[in-house]
């Protein structure tokens, strides 16, 4: 079965396309209105996915922040937070990470066959651990597994490597980018999409601009992947 959920990436970058500094630590890029927009996107999603790189550097909880949105989800018969998913080949998610500690709701860690058995075992009491892929997580199969559990709408919150792998695998439908009002610079600072990169113009996914929204100090660009 090839059915997969609708997948969108949401990210915030500096005016020069960086999503973090050369130290790869979390920096507040967007403004207050944008925080609210992101919260709304989370509340409207069935699952939120991040890469292990983001968990290790930013320790995000990925919870829905607004009480009203949490209550609306509960009224709809959902958990107050979407399923939080980590793409983590080697089961490196720290047991005390906010994603495992904060807020109610399901957590799923997708690991690969390369993950040490003892780490899978100790994480299993904090989250559901599912194995897919040999050395790294098979992203297509991960999305299919989520789809089979009723997940229809997936929000991807980075980082740069996971964004690349999903785009390169043609597994993304839309891309939303908050473009901020400062310059970060740095050869080694992560950008919206890192990974191997495309060499040939014909291979590069083309985007169709569906919306531009002016925010307090930056703007949000919404793209559809053709
Ligand atoms: P990442 O994209 O969060 O995670 C990448 C890791 O996922 C890989 O290194 C790999 O580690 C694991 N993985 C497992 N299976 C994979 C697969 N099939 N394809 C690709 N990756 C797979 O890490 P990152 O690129 O280092 O990005 C983190 C940076 O992004 C941080 O600096 C963070 O602050 C920033 N960030 C910014 C935003 C923003 O919106 N501004 C949002 C999120 C993150 P294993 O092999 O160990 O599993």
pLDDT digits (tens, 9 = 90+) for 94-126: 999 999 999 999 999 999 999 999 999 999 999
Note whether residue 61 is domain-resident.
yes
Helical (H) or strand (E) element with 99 = helix 98-101
pLDDT(34) > 90? yes
**Position 34 in a domain:** yes
pLDDT of residue 74: 97
Residues in the chain: 226
Beta pairing partners, 145: none
Please tell me if the CB atom of residue 140 comes closer than 6 angstroms to any atom of ligand 1: no
Number of Cβ atoms within 10 Å of the Cβ of 96: 9
Q: Among 89, 93, 141, 166, which is best to mutate for testing ligand 1, by the most ligand atoms less than 8 A from CB?
A: 89
Write the CATH number for 53.
3.40.430.10
Q: What is the pLDDT of residue 32?
A: 87
Rounded to whole angstroms, the Cα distance separating 113 from 122 reads 16
Measured at the alpha carbon of residue 134, what is the angle toward residues 132 and 140, in degrees to the nearest 5?
45
Query: Residue 143: CB partners within 8 Å, gap ≥ 6?
Result: 4, 5, 7, 154, 171
Q: Which pLDDT band holds residue 31 (cuts at 50, 70, 90)?
A: confident
| pLDDT at residue 2, rounded to an integer | 56
User: pLDDT digits over 185-217, tens only?
Assistant: 999 999 999 999 999 999 999 999 999 999 999
- Decide if 142 is inside a domain: yes
Q: 207 is in which domain, residue-wise?
A: 6-225
Domain-located, residue 14: yes
Q: Does residue 150 lie within any of the structural domains?
A: yes
Q: Is residue 1 part of a domain?
A: no
User: Structure pTM?
Assistant: 0.97
Q: Is residue 71 one of the residues assigned to a domain?
A: yes
What number is the average pLDDT over the span 159-184? Answer: 97
User: How many angstroms is it from 193 CA to the middle of ligand 1?
Assistant: 10
**Is residue 112 within 8 Å of 90, Cβ to Cβ?**
yes
pLDDT over 60 (residue 1): no
DSSP-based three-state secondary structure for 175: strand
**Residue 191 near residue 149, CB atoms below 8 Å:** no
Total count of domains within the chain: 1
Would residue 194 count as lying in a domain? yes
Count of C-beta atoms within a 10 Å radius of residue 97:
21
- Residue 222: CB atoms within 10 Å: 17
Name the percent of the chain lying above pLDDT 70. Answer: 99
Distance 74 CA to ligand 1 centre (A): 30
Question: Does residue 156 have a pLDDT over 80?
Answer: yes
């Amino acid at each position: 079965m090839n059915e997969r959920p609708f997948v969108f990436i949401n990210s915030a970058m500096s005016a020069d396309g960086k999503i973090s500094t050369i130290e790869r630590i979390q920096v507040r890029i967007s403004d207050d209105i944008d925080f609210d927009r992101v919260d709304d996107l989370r509340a409207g999603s069935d699952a939120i996915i991040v890469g292990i790189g983001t968990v290790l550097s930013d320790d995000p909880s990925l919870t829905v922040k607004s009480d009203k949105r949490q209550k609306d989800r509960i009224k709809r018969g959902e958990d107050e937070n979407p399923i939080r998913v980590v793409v983590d080949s080697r089961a490196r998610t720290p047991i005390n990470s906010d994603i495992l500690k904060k807020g109610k709701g399901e957590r799923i860690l997708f690991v690969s066959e390369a993950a040490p058995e003892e780490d899978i075992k100790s994480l299993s009491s904090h989250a559901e651990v599912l194995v897919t892929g040999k050395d790294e997580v098979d992203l297509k199969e991960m999305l299919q597994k989520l789809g089979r559990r009723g997940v229809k709408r997936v929000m991807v919150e980075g980082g740069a490597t996971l964004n690349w792998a999903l785009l390169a695998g043609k597994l993304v439908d839309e891309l939303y980018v908050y473009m901020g009002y400062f310059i970060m610079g740095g050869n080694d600072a992560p950008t919206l999409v890192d990974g191997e990169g495309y060499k040939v113009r014909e291979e590069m996914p083309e985007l169709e601009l569906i919306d531009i929204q002016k925010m307090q100090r930056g703007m949000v660009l919404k793209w559809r992947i053709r």
